[in-house]
Structure 1
Amino acid sequence: MQSIIQELQSLPAKLSASCWRCSWFSAPMRATIAGRKAGSLDRFAFIQAEKERVQLIDHIGACERIKGAPLASVFSIKIRRFLFLYLTVLPVAVVDKVGIWTPGL
Protein backbone atom coordinates (compact mmCIF):
# COMPACT_ATOMS: atom_id res chain seq x y z
CA MET A 1 0.00 0.00 0.00
CA GLN A 2 2.90 2.33 0.74
CA SER A 3 4.29 1.88 -2.77
CA ILE A 4 0.94 2.93 -4.25
CA ILE A 5 0.98 6.11 -2.17
CA GLN A 6 4.53 6.88 -3.26
CA GLU A 7 3.60 6.21 -6.88
CA LEU A 8 0.64 8.57 -6.64
CA GLN A 9 2.82 11.26 -5.11
CA SER A 10 5.33 10.97 -7.95
CA LEU A 11 2.57 10.99 -10.59
CA PRO A 12 3.23 14.55 -11.84
CA ALA A 13 6.88 13.74 -12.52
CA LYS A 14 5.97 10.64 -14.54
CA LEU A 15 3.39 12.25 -16.78
CA SER A 16 4.38 13.85 -20.04
CA ALA A 17 3.88 17.56 -20.66
CA SER A 18 0.71 17.05 -22.69
CA CYS A 19 -0.76 14.78 -20.05
CA TRP A 20 0.09 17.11 -17.19
CA ARG A 21 -2.31 19.65 -18.71
CA CYS A 22 -5.04 17.73 -16.96
CA SER A 23 -3.90 19.13 -13.63
CA TRP A 24 -7.48 19.06 -12.44
CA PHE A 25 -6.81 15.40 -11.72
CA SER A 26 -3.88 15.99 -9.40
CA ALA A 27 -5.79 17.83 -6.66
CA PRO A 28 -8.38 15.08 -6.02
CA MET A 29 -5.66 12.42 -6.02
CA ARG A 30 -3.64 14.39 -3.48
CA ALA A 31 -6.77 14.65 -1.35
CA THR A 32 -7.22 10.89 -1.72
CA ILE A 33 -3.64 10.27 -0.57
CA ALA A 34 -4.10 12.62 2.38
CA GLY A 35 -7.39 10.95 3.27
CA ARG A 36 -5.80 7.51 3.14
CA LYS A 37 -2.95 8.63 5.41
CA ALA A 38 -5.38 10.20 7.87
CA GLY A 39 -7.54 7.09 7.85
CA SER A 40 -10.67 8.86 6.66
CA LEU A 41 -10.71 6.94 3.37
CA ASP A 42 -11.61 3.28 3.59
CA ARG A 43 -9.63 0.63 1.78
CA PHE A 44 -12.31 -0.06 -0.86
CA ALA A 45 -12.58 3.61 -1.86
CA PHE A 46 -8.80 3.90 -2.14
CA ILE A 47 -8.57 0.78 -4.33
CA GLN A 48 -11.40 2.09 -6.50
CA ALA A 49 -9.61 5.44 -6.89
CA GLU A 50 -6.43 3.58 -7.84
CA LYS A 51 -8.32 1.62 -10.53
CA GLU A 52 -9.74 4.85 -11.93
CA ARG A 53 -6.27 6.42 -11.98
CA VAL A 54 -4.80 3.48 -13.86
CA GLN A 55 -7.65 3.56 -16.37
CA LEU A 56 -7.21 7.31 -16.89
CA ILE A 57 -3.48 6.92 -17.50
CA ASP A 58 -4.19 4.16 -20.04
CA HIS A 59 -6.69 6.35 -21.89
CA ILE A 60 -4.31 9.30 -21.91
CA GLY A 61 -1.57 7.08 -23.32
CA ALA A 62 -3.91 5.90 -26.08
CA CYS A 63 -4.79 9.51 -26.91
CA GLU A 64 -1.12 10.43 -27.12
CA ARG A 65 -0.49 7.51 -29.50
CA ILE A 66 -3.37 8.64 -31.72
CA LYS A 67 -2.12 12.22 -31.63
CA GLY A 68 1.38 11.16 -32.62
CA ALA A 69 0.31 8.87 -35.47
CA PRO A 70 0.88 10.36 -38.92
CA LEU A 71 -2.22 10.89 -41.05
CA ALA A 72 -1.92 9.93 -44.70
CA SER A 73 -2.29 12.83 -47.12
CA VAL A 74 -5.15 11.06 -48.92
CA PHE A 75 -7.17 10.93 -45.70
CA SER A 76 -6.32 14.53 -44.95
CA ILE A 77 -7.60 15.64 -48.36
CA LYS A 78 -10.80 13.59 -48.00
CA ILE A 79 -11.46 15.04 -44.55
CA ARG A 80 -10.91 18.56 -45.87
CA ARG A 81 -13.28 17.99 -48.79
CA PHE A 82 -15.95 16.47 -46.57
CA LEU A 83 -15.78 19.40 -44.15
CA PHE A 84 -16.05 21.88 -47.03
CA LEU A 85 -19.07 20.09 -48.45
CA TYR A 86 -20.72 19.78 -45.03
CA LEU A 87 -20.22 23.45 -44.17
CA THR A 88 -21.46 24.48 -47.61
CA VAL A 89 -24.69 22.45 -47.35
CA LEU A 90 -25.37 23.19 -43.67
CA PRO A 91 -27.10 26.58 -44.18
CA VAL A 92 -29.48 25.02 -46.71
CA ALA A 93 -30.33 22.22 -44.28
CA VAL A 94 -31.19 24.56 -41.37
CA VAL A 95 -33.13 27.19 -43.32
CA ASP A 96 -36.48 25.67 -42.28
CA LYS A 97 -35.68 25.82 -38.58
CA VAL A 98 -33.76 29.09 -38.40
CA GLY A 99 -35.53 31.07 -41.09
CA ILE A 100 -34.17 34.55 -41.75
CA TRP A 101 -31.25 34.02 -39.38
CA THR A 102 -29.69 31.41 -41.69
CA PRO A 103 -26.09 32.42 -42.46
CA GLY A 104 -24.89 32.65 -46.03
CA LEU A 105 -28.21 32.73 -47.88
Structure 2
Amino acid sequence: MTLKLPPSGENRWRLATHARVIVYETEDGNELLTVYDCGAAQKPPSAQLIGNLVRVNAEHELERGPTGYAVSMRESADLVKQDEHHYVIEAVEE
Protein backbone atom coordinates (compact mmCIF):
# COMPACT_ATOMS: atom_id res chain seq x y z
CA MET A 1 0.00 0.00 0.00
CA THR A 2 1.30 3.42 -0.99
CA LEU A 3 -0.38 6.33 0.81
CA LYS A 4 0.84 9.90 0.37
CA LEU A 5 -2.46 11.57 1.28
CA PRO A 6 -2.63 14.03 4.18
CA PRO A 7 -4.32 12.49 7.24
CA SER A 8 -7.51 14.14 8.49
CA GLY A 9 -8.18 11.89 11.47
CA GLU A 10 -7.87 8.27 12.48
CA ASN A 11 -8.24 6.06 9.38
CA ARG A 12 -9.16 9.17 7.31
CA TRP A 13 -7.21 10.89 4.56
CA ARG A 14 -8.01 14.11 2.72
CA LEU A 15 -8.55 13.88 -1.02
CA ALA A 16 -7.75 16.80 -3.28
CA THR A 17 -10.86 18.71 -4.42
CA HIS A 18 -10.51 17.38 -7.96
CA ALA A 19 -9.17 13.94 -7.03
CA ARG A 20 -9.70 11.04 -9.39
CA VAL A 21 -9.97 7.51 -8.02
CA ILE A 22 -9.41 4.71 -10.51
CA VAL A 23 -10.89 1.41 -9.36
CA TYR A 24 -9.60 -1.70 -11.13
CA GLU A 25 -11.79 -4.74 -10.45
CA THR A 26 -9.91 -8.06 -10.25
CA GLU A 27 -11.34 -11.46 -11.13
CA ASP A 28 -11.22 -12.63 -7.49
CA GLY A 29 -13.52 -9.82 -6.33
CA ASN A 30 -10.85 -7.49 -4.96
CA GLU A 31 -10.24 -3.96 -6.15
CA LEU A 32 -7.10 -1.91 -6.66
CA LEU A 33 -7.73 1.74 -5.79
CA THR A 34 -5.41 4.32 -7.31
CA VAL A 35 -5.85 7.95 -6.20
CA TYR A 36 -4.62 10.89 -8.28
CA ASP A 37 -4.76 14.49 -7.00
CA CYS A 38 -6.21 15.60 -10.33
CA GLY A 39 -7.23 13.73 -13.44
CA ALA A 40 -5.47 16.27 -15.66
CA ALA A 41 -2.18 16.42 -13.72
CA GLN A 42 0.77 14.44 -15.01
CA LYS A 43 1.90 13.27 -11.56
CA PRO A 44 2.32 9.84 -9.97
CA PRO A 45 -0.60 8.64 -7.84
CA SER A 46 -0.98 9.88 -4.26
CA ALA A 47 -2.24 6.51 -3.07
CA GLN A 48 -2.51 2.94 -4.23
CA LEU A 49 -4.18 0.30 -2.11
CA ILE A 50 -6.08 -2.96 -2.33
CA GLY A 51 -9.59 -2.83 -0.95
CA ASN A 52 -13.19 -2.28 -1.95
CA LEU A 53 -14.65 1.17 -2.46
CA VAL A 54 -18.04 0.59 -0.85
CA ARG A 55 -19.68 3.95 -1.64
CA VAL A 56 -19.10 7.60 -2.43
CA ASN A 57 -21.05 10.08 -0.28
CA ALA A 58 -19.82 13.24 -2.00
CA GLU A 59 -20.52 14.99 -5.28
CA HIS A 60 -18.74 13.09 -8.05
CA GLU A 61 -18.90 11.81 -11.60
CA LEU A 62 -18.68 8.08 -12.33
CA GLU A 63 -17.24 6.67 -15.53
CA ARG A 64 -17.39 2.92 -16.16
CA GLY A 65 -14.79 1.08 -18.23
CA PRO A 66 -14.06 -2.51 -19.23
CA THR A 67 -11.84 -3.23 -16.21
CA GLY A 68 -13.49 -1.08 -13.54
CA TYR A 69 -14.52 2.52 -13.08
CA ALA A 70 -13.25 6.02 -12.34
CA VAL A 71 -14.62 8.42 -9.74
CA SER A 72 -13.94 12.11 -10.37
CA MET A 73 -14.54 14.17 -7.24
CA ARG A 74 -16.39 17.46 -7.46
CA GLU A 75 -16.12 18.55 -3.81
CA SER A 76 -13.81 18.19 -0.82
CA ALA A 77 -13.85 14.67 0.60
CA ASP A 78 -12.03 12.17 2.76
CA LEU A 79 -11.10 8.59 2.02
CA VAL A 80 -12.25 6.67 5.10
CA LYS A 81 -11.10 3.17 6.04
CA GLN A 82 -14.03 1.18 7.44
CA ASP A 83 -12.08 -2.02 8.04
CA GLU A 84 -9.12 -3.87 6.57
CA HIS A 85 -10.61 -4.14 3.07
CA HIS A 86 -13.41 -1.55 2.82
CA TYR A 87 -13.27 2.18 2.13
CA VAL A 88 -15.80 4.96 1.60
CA ILE A 89 -15.45 8.51 0.34
CA GLU A 90 -17.29 11.09 2.46
CA ALA A 91 -17.85 14.77 1.79
CA VAL A 92 -16.29 17.23 4.23
CA GLU A 93 -17.10 20.86 4.85
CA GLU A 94 -14.29 23.35 4.30
Q: Same fold (TM over 0.5)?
A: no
Asked which structure has the greater RCO (Cα within 8 Å, sep 6+), the reply is 2
Question: TM-score scaled to structure 1, two decimals?
Answer: 0.19
Structure number with bigger Rg: 1
Question: TM-score scaled to structure 2, two decimals?
Answer: 0.20
Higher helix share: 1
